[in-house]
């Protein structure tokens, strides 16, 4: 059996600066009640990059691309595992131009790079790697053909589809919170997705329930759990407080207005 412990140890992260076009032009599920404060978003993003560096990662920072307002959400563009990078065919047509730059960046790192072809569509935000298998959200952005392309690329791991109905991505409501621990949001959709995980996944996981779906998007990096600050997840913060593992808090109030989560902002290698 594969050991999960080495799978959440990372040496490198790829991030991208926030383009000035993001507040007006980024794709979003719903219009936010308040406009994105670009200056504040940039400050929060710098804190995010600093956090990754403090955990020992070399951070490759791509410059912003105003032609692609969503370029800061690099997670969607590629799935990287065991030295192989699959370049996604992104679910929203306006974002597909983000792939070329990411492909060359990953090739420069010495990774084996595969490219997804039509009719496959997949966003990295729908791909939850547990260290043992892939759980893939079948959503508005990721289709069955995309999941099958991922399964062919990473054929040594089981790949299972999980229904995503109203959320943007699977990781909008569940992520890894530790070895064999999945943090799951409290909404009915998140709970239904968890029931599907319990039925379909090849391995068993402990569920860490948080009331806010927003809180369920965390980063587990080099033994540390990164989650949102109390002001952004007031009902869920105490759940994280009770955990004994090393923890780090980050603000993400501005990018969350355009559906940006903590995992969205990096590709971890």
Looking at residue 6, what is its pLDDT? 64
**Residues 66-71: what's their mean pLDDT?**
95
The percentage of the chain sitting over the pLDDT mark of 90, rounded to a whole number, equals 93
For residue 34, the model assigns a pLDDT of 86
List the catalytic residue out of 45, 68, 167, 169.
169
Q: Annotated catalytic, 179?
A: no
Query: Contact 226/265 with Cβ under 8 angstroms?
Result: no
Q: From CA 256, how far away is CA 262, in angstroms rounded?
A: 9
The reported pLDDT for the residue numbered 4 is: 41
* pLDDT for position 31: 65
75-120 pLDDT, tens per residue?
Answer: 999 999 999 999 999 999 999 999 999 999 999 999 999 999 999 9
Q: Give the pLDDT of residue 24.
A: 83
Mean pLDDT of the chain: 95
- Beta strands (DSSP E) in the chain are 12-16, 58-62, 78-81, 84-87, 112-115, 127-129, 134-138, 159-163, 174-178, 181-184, 206-209, 219-221, 224-228, 247-250, 267-268
Contact 263, 171 (CB under 8 A): yes
How far is residue 15's CA from residue 71's CA, in Å, rounded to a whole number? 9
Q: Look up 264 and say whether it is catalytic.
A: yes
Mean pLDDT within 141-161 = 98
Mean pLDDT of the 180-185 span: 98
What are the tens digits of pLDDT across the range 21-66?
998 887 766 666 789 999 999 999 999 999 999 999 999 999 999 9
Can you tell me the mean pLDDT for 223-248?
A: 96
Confidence of residue 255 (pLDDT cuts 50, 70, 90): very high
C-alpha neighbours within 13 Å on the C-beta side of residue 43:
8
Residue 60 region, left (φ>0) first, then alpha (ψ -120 to 50), else beta? beta
Confidence band (pLDDT; 50, 70, 90) for 227?
very high
Per-residue pLDDT at 1: 33
Query: What confidence score (pLDDT) does residue 25 get?
Result: 81
Tokens (6 digits) for 189: 């959709």
Query: Is residue 208 very low, low, confident or very high in pLDDT (cuts 50, 70, 90)?
Result: very high
Q: Mean of the pLDDT values across residues 6-11? A: 90
CATH domain 5-268 topology? 3.75.10
Q: What is the DSSP letter of 37?
A: -
């Amino acid at each position: 059996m594969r050991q999960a412990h080495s799978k959440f140890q990372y040496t490198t992260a790829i991030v991208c600066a926030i383009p000035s076009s993001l507040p007006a032009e980024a794709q979003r599920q719903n219009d936010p009640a308040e406009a994105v404060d670009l200056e504040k978003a940039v400050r929060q993003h710098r804190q995010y990059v600093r956090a990754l560096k403090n955990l020992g990662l070399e951070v490759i920072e791509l410059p912003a691309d105003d032609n692609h307002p969503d370029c800061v959400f690099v997670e969607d563009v590629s799935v990287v595992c065991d030295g192989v990078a699959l370049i996604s065919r992104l679910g929203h047509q306006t974002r597909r131009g983000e792939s070329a730059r990411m492909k060359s960046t990953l090739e420069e790192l010495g990774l084996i790079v595969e490219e997804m072809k039509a009719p496959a569509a997949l966003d990295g935000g729908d791909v939850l790697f547990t260290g043992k298998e892939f759980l893939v959200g079948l959503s508005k952005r990721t289709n069955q053909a995309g999941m099958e392309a991922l399964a062919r690329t990473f054929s040594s791991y089981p790949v299972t589809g999980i229904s995503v109905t109203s959320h943007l991505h699977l990781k909008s409501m569940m992520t890894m919170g530790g070895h064999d621990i999945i943090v799951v949001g409290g909404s009915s959709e998140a709970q239904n997705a968890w029931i599907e995980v319990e039925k379909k996944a090849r391995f068993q996981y402990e569920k860490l329930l948080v009331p806010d779906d927003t809180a369920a998007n965390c980063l587990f990096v080099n033994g540390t759990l990164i989650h949102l600050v109390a002001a952004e997840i007031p009902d869920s913060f105490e759940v994280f407080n009770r955990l004994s593992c090393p923890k780090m808090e980050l603000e993400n109030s501005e990018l969350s207005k355009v559906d940006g989560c903590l995992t969205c902002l990096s590709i971890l290698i």
